[in-house]
Amino acid sequence: MLTIRPAHERGHADHGWLDSWHSFSFADYYDPAHMGYSALRVINDDRIAKGGGFGAHPHRDMEIVTYILDGALAHRDSMGNGSVIRPGDVQRMSAGSGVMHSEANAHEGETRLLQIWILPKDKGGAPGYEQIHFEDADLKDRLRLVASPDGRDGSVRIQQDASIYAARLGAGVRLQHPLFPGRKAYLQVAKGELHLNGTHLKAGDGAMLEQESSLELLAVTGAEVLLFELP
C-alpha cells in the first residue's frame, strides 16, 4: 500500500527569517491525522534566510538528523560541539537526557535543510553527536545508507531500529530497493520529480509504504530523495 503526503497539504510557517514546511504536526501546526509515521516524528523542510537561525534551545529524548540541501549551517551545543554542516554532511544529535543547541545560517544566501526527528528506542540515554560527510559520488544514482542503528557502512548511528538512505538521481535513472516484511518505509522527495512504483511525485511530496515488497524509483528530472526504513 502506498499513501501520498502531497507537498501542498503540509503544515506551513513563515517567520520571515524561516520558511518551514512540516510533513507532520510540529509547533503551532497540529494535524491529528499526521502525528508522525512509525518512529519518524518530524520532517521539516526549512529555508533559513541570510543572518537567520535558531537560538540556543533544549531538546531531550529525540534523535535529530540534519540533512543540508543548499547553503551551510553553523551548529553549537552544550556538549561542546561546534561545526559547519554543508551539502553532503549528515549530522546526528542524540538529545537523550537533555541537550542545548543553536543553529545559524553560515551561508551568504539562503540555506535549505531537512530537519528530521526520530523517536529513540529508549529514553534518558546520554546525549551524543556525530557528523559524517558523503561525497557526491557516494550518493549519485544510488540509495546510500547514511544513518543506521549500528553505524554500518560508514553511516551515522541512531538510537532506533531505523535506517535512512539518501540519493541524488540523474534524469532517467531507475533504482530498485527491497523492503522487508513487517517493516514500513517513507520516501521524501527533496528536489526534482520522479515516479515511485509508477506514482508521480514532485519536490516536497512524501510517500508512506506498507506491505510492499520493494520500491522502484524512476527519476523524471534530476532528483534528490531520502528513504526511511522504519519498524
Domains and CATH numbers, the chain: 2-230 (2.60.120.10)
- Cβ atoms of 154 and 166 closer than 8 Å: no
d(CA 93, CA 82): 12
- Cβ atoms of 152 and 145 closer than 8 Å: yes
- Confidence band of 148 (pLDDT split at 50, 70, 90): very high
User: Which amino acid is present at 68?
Assistant: I
Whether residue 50 has pLDDT greater than 90: yes
Task: Report the chain's terminal Cα–Cα distance, integer Å.
Answer: 16
Whether residue 56 has pLDDT greater than 90: no
Close Cβ partners of 198 (under 8 Å, ≥ 6 residues apart): 216
| Total-model pTM | 0.96
Q: What is the mean pLDDT of the chain?
A: 96
Q: What is the pLDDT of residue 147?
A: 98
SS3 of residue 99 by DSSP: strand
Alpha helix ranges (H) inside 85-227: 136-139
Whether residue 151 has pLDDT greater than 90: yes
- Confidence band of 55 (pLDDT split at 50, 70, 90): confident
Residue 77, strand partner residues: 101
Q: What is the pLDDT of residue 133?
A: 97
User: Cell triple for residue 188?
Assistant: 521524501
Q: What is the pLDDT of residue 211?
A: 93
